[in-house]
Chains A and B, each alone.
Chain A
Amino acid sequence: MKFRDSKFISFFSNLSKNGVVIIFIVIVIALAFLTKGKSIKPSNIVNIMLQTTTIGILAIGMTLVIIDRGIDLSVGGVAALSSAVGAICMTKLGVPWILCVLIMLVIGTLVGMINGFSISVLKMPAFITTMAMLKITQGSAHYLLGGTTIFGLPEIHSVFGQGSFIGIPVAVWILLFFTLIGFLLLKYSRFGRELYAMGGNPKAAWIAGINVTQNRILIYAISGFLSAVAALIITSRIMCAQVTIGDGSELDAIASAVIGGVSMAGGEGGVLGAVAGTFIIVMINNGLNLLAVSPYIQTAIKGTVIFTAIASDVIRRRKELRLKQ
């Protein structure tokens, strides 16, 4: 079988190179037709953007982690834990609101640093380390919340999820802000260059004198910090804290990055692609909802999208490798 030369393969390999844009346009047009224009109404677009914010923010952190050949499965748990602590501080302990926000961010960053320390210094494998951390944070959040939902967050807290600035929701501004920072960091900063080098060839990066250990801790700290930022937005939107807050978000974040061209093999990709990838995922979800497709099959469709994205990435890499030889 001439598997390697088939059109099937080249379709896949082209897909992931300029894929995000193409998929994006195809999906927008298809959904607009299928929903008879409902999907491109301004109100729905604002809705999509709001949904994009939290996963998009997680996807930015995930992008850094995956470029370094790692993975962070703990993001949902970290979001749950920091929102639980934040809500308790705000309601039961009466800590000033702004301090509570700070506490939430610190918790996220600290957990991320623990992940980073374990992975870079203790050389624990990222997959299982962050999975354990997911359980640790989730369980702790559950315990703190006592299995209930904490309501009664101060009115001002609604600013992140419900406020808007020049007609655009604050949450979207936050996403744009971190996307820009992430983009500049990866493209123009020393840290960014070192990160791509670490992902491209960890041993060579180490021998070139790059501080691999410190950078790796920083990467996971950023991912943890951004998980807490996502927690701020979610709690602000629903004005309560509950343990299910980040459920499954790690997979959405990974999927966003991969669809957006971040290679699981490391050293490749960027935050713009990842955020665009989030957009695609959210749009598919949203469109299927508008079309009243069964939620069960929606999950299967999402899985298929992720599967396709990874397949095209792997096939493209193999093709490039063959071209070089």
Chain B
Amino acid sequence: MEAVNEPVVVLQNISKKFGGIFALNQVTFDLRNEIHSIVGHNGAGKSTLVRILMGAIQPDGGEIYLNGSPVSFDSPREAQENRISMVWQELSNFPNLTVTENLLMQRFVTKANGAINWKASHDLCKQFLQRLSLDIDPKSMMGKLSLAQQQLVEFSKALSYDPVVLILDEPTSALSFREQEILYEKIIKIKSQGVAVVFISHKLDEIMTLSDRVTVLRDGQKIFTKMGNELDKDSLVEAIVGKPSERKKEKIRNTGQRDVDSNTGLILEVKNLSLERRLEKVSFSLNKGEILGITGVSGSGISDIGKILFGIEQDYTGEISLEGQPYKSLTPQDAVRQGFGYVPKDRKEEGIIPGMTVGDNIVLSTLKQIYMTGFVNNRIRDEVIYRIMDIIDLKPRNPEIAISSLSGGNQQKVVMARWISKKTRVLILDEPTRGVDVGAIGKIYSLIRDLTHQGVSVIVISSEFEEVHSVADRMLVFNKGKIVGEIKPASSVWEDAFALAIK
């Protein structure tokens, strides 16, 4: 297309190392009045590149030019002052306030006496909304709008600061498939107003439709920048994950002694599971003692599987059976009683009890066994706690210290440990390594493997394809709320799964 105009921003030979490993290695990237997509798998360097542009982190090497002159931004604020804006992946608005208040916070139109001039403020808000031809009432409550509309208000807000560069970080990941269409149209409109748009997404379809140019990153290297109309899906997938012949065969996992016997029988069977806007007719089964990976990029609906099975999400359709019996759980408590365990994605908000000790956090789901009479049996309590601390290899081995003094990895092990002492039949882990230090990731996965030897069947829900590949017996790949493939790590590489997830 007509990407012949002058570059607004040029990132020249940018390098950045984290702990001796190149997150970005000599990457050059230029941006014009266009929609320029950056694609790559987790850890490819997308977010590092964008954060350098936003001034959130400093590059180790390379130059940044804005309109031809060299610049360096020490903070996102400085980038914003130079008219570089970003719309974040998670919505961060005030649902209890009107659209006008959200859009004009801190810059209302005021009367001579200092009071807010509501009529003028609403009018100004309307003007901003009209730049994207949005038919949204400025007086309506933000929380009453659909997610797509809220996202569009965020776009309007970003545009109201007159940016020359607008970065959109996975703006469609929380939206339904239909809502995404509306957003695309508006993104094109933003470009037509002279804004250079950086678009980050995992969804190849939308990248193909929207992009004037596409830059592919893999392991901190730029693979290429190409015009959108020169690309087809297969070559894009190949660029992101490497050619099938290049995918190292040694990465095929050696399952070792782990003898997966699929004749152990089914423990869990899921048929035609659907959840409005999130999941469509999902069917799968879990064998006894198996580790099943459920993988997909953000917004693919994988988290919802865990929430449904554990009774957090209720409004689904479909059938679930547990060891042949129909299963339906109305609350987590109910799910626990039927032998489920769950490690939530958000450890701080849903996992740990911050005010309590390590020991108390460990026994939280085992209270019934330890307090059989209603009151504590200290002998059993200590026995359970020390046994579990040994199983999870917790250091320091001290149950009396505060849970909040542990590292993220150790906290996660404690949350997992809750389900060890229970008669847990199916353990569901949602993003078990999120916010966990690199050294602890391996330990968490070996703990998962140990659990299966005790007869626990495990579902690992994760968008870290490489990690799941290293631990799971089978991987189900989700794309747009559907299962699009099943990968056996024993006979394929993780890139195969990722290729399916983004196709």
Contact = CB atoms under 8 A, between A and B. Distances in A.
Interface in A245-271: 267-268
A280 to B, nearest CB: 24
Given A200-B354, A201-B353, A209 B376 contact: no
A203 B345 CA distance: 13
B19 interface: no
Contact of B418 (A193, A200, A208): A208
A200 B348 CA distance: 11
A207 B350 contact: yes
Contacts of B354: 200-201
Interface string A185-206: 0001111011011011101111
B277 interface: no
Contacts of B284: none
- Name, among A190, A203, A206, the residue most crowded by chain B CB atoms within 10 Å (CB to CB): A190
B371 A193 contact: yes
A54 to B, nearest CB: 28
Given A207-B332, A210-B333, A190 B367 contact: yes
Interface residues of B, number: 32
A164 interface: no
A209 B312 CA distance: 11
Given A189-B374, A190-B367, A193-B367, A209 B333 contact: yes
**Could you say which interface size class chain A belongs to?**
20 to 34
A196 B312 CA distance: 22
Given A208-B365, A210-B364, A190 B353 contact: no
Contacts of A188: 375-376
- Name, among A188, A196, A201, A203, the residue most crowded by chain B CB atoms within 10 Å (CB to CB): A201
Name A's interface SS: helix
B376 A194 contact: no
A206 B349 CA distance: 11
B375 A324 contact: no
Nearest to A205: B353
Contacts of A184: 375
B379 to A, nearest CB: 13
A149 interface: no
A197 B360 contact: yes
A211 interface: yes
A235 B360 CA distance: 42
Given A184-B375, A207-B342, A196 B353 contact: yes
A190 B356 contact: no
A191 B360 contact: no
Contacts of B312: 207
A190 B368 contact: yes
B344 interface: yes
A81 to B, nearest CB: 30
Contact of A193 (B310, B342, B360, B404): B360
B360 A204 contact: no
A202 B371 CA distance: 21
A209 B335 CA distance: 8
A224 B368 CA distance: 26
A204 B364 CA distance: 10
- Name, among A188, A196, A207, A267, the residue most crowded by chain B CB atoms within 10 Å (CB to CB): A207
B219 to A, nearest CB: 33
A200 B350 contact: no
A201 B351 CA distance: 8
A207 B355 contact: no
Contacts of A206: 331-333
Contacts of B367: 190, 193-194, 210
Nearest to A197: B353
Contacts of B368: 190
Contacts of B344: 204, 207
Given A193-B360, A211-B333, A200 B371 contact: no
A188 B378 CA distance: 9
B363 to A, nearest CB: 8
B370 interface: yes
Contacts of A200: 353-356
A185 to B, nearest CB: 9
A205 to B, nearest CB: 7
A208 B375 CA distance: 19
Contacts of B308: none
Given A196-B353, A207-B332, A209-B335, A190 B364 contact: no
A324 B376 contact: no
Contact of A268 (B342, B355, B404): B355
A193 B312 CA distance: 23
Contacts of B405: 324
Interface string B328-340: 0001110111000
B352 interface: yes
Contact of B360 (A196, A207, A209): A196
B355 A204 contact: no
Contact of A190 (B355, B370, B404): B370
A65 to B, nearest CB: 17
Contact of B350 (A196, A203, A209, A267): A203
A184 B333 CA distance: 25
Contacts of B360: 193, 196-197
A205 B356 contact: no
B364 A196 contact: no
Contacts of B336: 208-209
B333 A205 contact: no
Contacts of A196: 353, 355-356, 360
A93 to B, nearest CB: 37
A206 B350 CA distance: 9
Nearest to B356: A200
Contacts of B371: 189-190, 193
A211 B349 CA distance: 18
B350 A204 contact: yes
A205 B344 CA distance: 12
B330 to A, nearest CB: 11
Contacts of B374: 189-191
A209 B367 CA distance: 10
B359 to A, nearest CB: 10
Contacts of A193: 360, 363-364, 367, 371, 376
Given A203-B349, A324-B404, 12 more contacts: A188-B376, A189-B371, A189-B375, A190-B368, A190-B370, A193-B360, A193-B376, A197-B353, A203-B350, A204-B352, A206-B333, A209-B337
10 contacts: A184-B375, A188-B376, A193-B360, A193-B367, A193-B376, A204-B352, A205-B364, A207-B310, A207-B342, A210-B333
User: What 5 A-B pairs have minimum CB-CB distances, sorted nearest first?
Assistant: A190-B371, A209-B336, A200-B353, A200-B355, A267-B355
Interface of B: 310, 312, 331-333, 335-337, 342, 344, 349-356, 360, 363-365, 367-368, 370-371, 374-376, 404-405, 418
